[in-house]
Amino acid sequence: MSELTRLSVDEMRTGLLTGAFTALDLTDAHLKRIDATNEQFNSFLTICADKAREQARVADERIRKEGSQSPALCGIPIAIKDMLLTDGVETTAASKILKGFIPPYDATPVAKLKERDSIILGKTNQDEFAMGSSNENSAFGPVRNPWDPSRVPGGSSGGSVVAVALGQAPLSLGTDTGGSIRQPASLTGVFGMKPTYGRVSRYGVIAFASSLDQVGPFARSTVDLAYALDAICGYDSNDSTSMKREVPAFREELRKWEGKSLEGIRVGVPKEYFIDGNEPDVQAATQESLKTLEKLGAKLVDISLPHTEHALEVYYIIAPAEASSNLSRYDGVRYGYRSPNAKTLSELYSKTRAEGFGREVKRRIMIGTYVLSAGYYDAYYRKAQEVRTLIIDDFKAAFNNHCDVIAAPVSPTTAFKIGEKAQSPLAMYLADVFTIPASLAGLPGMSVPTTLDRNGLPIGLQLLGAPFTESTLLRVSQALEHAGNFDTRRNCS
């Protein structure tokens, strides 16, 4: 049944509706694939085999009753990043401090998938509390890149991208705070989208930096990505930053554009993203993609986003500041790990946190506490918020006056070796230089796999849009996908 793990969502849906196979067959095939590969790649932290089979039986029943009226993702397996709470299933954010924590409810995106009777295969590995760009900051070991197991898959959603690339799941969810969907998608050759801030509910999503965090899907094609977006987007009164905006029918919209040119689409090319530090193959691949866009009928426009160079500094003030506040709840009293070595209340807090958090998380808490402290707040935090506004204004000016989408590299490099940047936080932070600006501006962004570098490692193209223009990004992605020959279904491992 191994071929079942390489199908598109449309093919799975057809198979389920015609009775060629059942949701249980699909689920078993994916569980088998996970079983055969997880030891090597470490992409899943928790595998929900029994629950998944039970859900598959329910989905099969629903498909028998409702046929084509059943939801599009009924019976389709999906993997969930361990940042999203799952009712009754251990959720750790890949941190020792949450080891053993069993949430009493589902995050809204998970609840929405369950309403549709999608199959939750398990929880995927990630950087601890989503802080990282390589998945090496997981308390439960690194994830390996299927294109070269000596390399990182990117991060922080490393397990979720590897699940999709390896055929352990056709779809998965990740979170993106500064690039954690787009960067790992690029480094493993899958499609990944961070929707507009406010498009997907953050209710039940473990908070890292609340003004930046956003949930989004991974898939092996644009259409599959659209199916996942259809399921998870929408207003939720449980999240005060969730937006009351109509959600387009993304899958349907794509049907309209299939085979059509990109006539009328203006693609902004920001000069600040084409820097000397980019690997030559990344630079060349991006130029090649721009040519393809032009051939497809799009118009290229040179633009400037002048405050780009400050985005990294701004992010590494605001994100740690919010994290230091959000992570104060892990005190050994309410959830997860509690130090057995504490004699007083104050020791309970300090020892639990000292033993429970990993190095990078502690570094962020210290930076965040520092930039928020009296005497430094104005110099760092307030200043960063002011520069954030300038970055937002750069994008506004570009989208109001010059272009409909922006195209740029996702990351200056392809997948690096495990351990290569682990000793230098700064080198690691630089991996996000092209994804962070759009996060600060709350914009939708995606990575479209386009080609391989000279070492056979995937390269993605980043597409960014004005708020709530996910459909336009998908339209451009679909055109690029069809014009190119990147095979996301190929067994890379």
Q: Which residues bind ligand GLN (CB under 6 A)?
A: 130-133, 156, 176-180, 208, 319, 432
Element counts in the chain: helices (H) and strands (E): 16, 11
Q: What backbone torsions phi and psi does residue 175 show, to the nearest 5 degrees?
A: -130, 150
> Which residue lies nearer to ligand GLN by CB, 31 or 131?
131
Q: Identity (one letter) of the amino acid at 207?
A: A
Nearest to 111 by CA among 129, 90, 85, 89: 85
Least separation in angstroms between CB 176 and ligand GLN:
5
Q: Is 216 helix (H, G, I), strand (E, B) or coil?
A: strand
Place of tokens 């997880």: 38
Place of tokens 């919010």: 322
Q: How many residues does the chain have?
A: 493
- Is residue 328 annotated as a catalytic residue, yes or no? no
Least separation in angstroms between CB 395 and ligand GLN:
18
Least separation in angstroms between CB 269 and ligand GLN:
24
Helix, strand, coil % in the chain, rounded to nearest 5 = 45, 15, 40
> Which residue lies nearer to ligand GLN by CB, 357 or 486?
357
Please give the Cα distance from 469 to 472 (Å, whole number).
5
Contact 225, 191 (CB under 8 A): yes
The catalytic position among 95, 133, 180, 411 is 180
Instruction: Indicate the residue whose CB is closest to ligand GLN.
Output: 180
The catalytic position among 156, 324, 439, 447 is 156
> Which residue lies nearer to ligand GLN by CB, 131 or 290?
131
> Which residue lies nearer to ligand GLN by CB, 163 or 317?
317
Q: Is the peptide bond before 156 cis (omega within 30 degrees of 0)?
A: yes
Conformational region of residue 491, where left means phi above 0, alpha means psi within -120 to 50, and beta covers everything else = beta
> Which residue lies nearer to ligand GLN by CB, 98 or 131?
131
Q: Is the peptide bond before 150 cis (omega within 30 degrees of 0)?
A: no
> Which residue lies nearer to ligand GLN by CB, 179 or 356?
179
The catalytic position among 70, 81, 118, 221 is 81
> Which residue lies nearer to ligand GLN by CB, 178 or 412?
178
> Which residue lies nearer to ligand GLN by CB, 158 or 336?
158
Q: Look up residue 118 and give its DSSP letter.
A: -
Q: Look up residue 367 and give its DSSP letter.
A: H
Q: CB burial class (10 A; 0-12, 13-18, 19+) of residue 6? A: middle
Place of tokens 């499609």: 191
Least separation in angstroms between CB 116 and ligand GLN:
26
> Which residue lies nearer to ligand GLN by CB, 251 or 421?
421
Nearest to 120 by CA among 50, 176, 66: 50
Please give the Cα distance from 358 to 369 (Å, whole number).
17
- Is residue 180 annotated as a catalytic residue, yes or no? yes
Least separation in angstroms between CB 71 and ligand GLN:
29
Angle among Cα 204, 392, 309 to the nearest 5 degrees reads: 105
Please give the Cα distance from 3 to 177 (Å, whole number).
34
Q: Is 134 helix (H, G, I), strand (E, B) or coil?
A: coil
Least separation in angstroms between CB 106 and ligand GLN:
21
Place of tokens 């993203």: 273
- Is residue 81 annotated as a catalytic residue, yes or no? yes
Please give the Cα distance from 113 to 71 (Å, whole number).
10
Q: Look up residue 54 and give its DSSP letter.
A: H
What amino acid positions are annotated as catalytic residues?
81, 156, 180
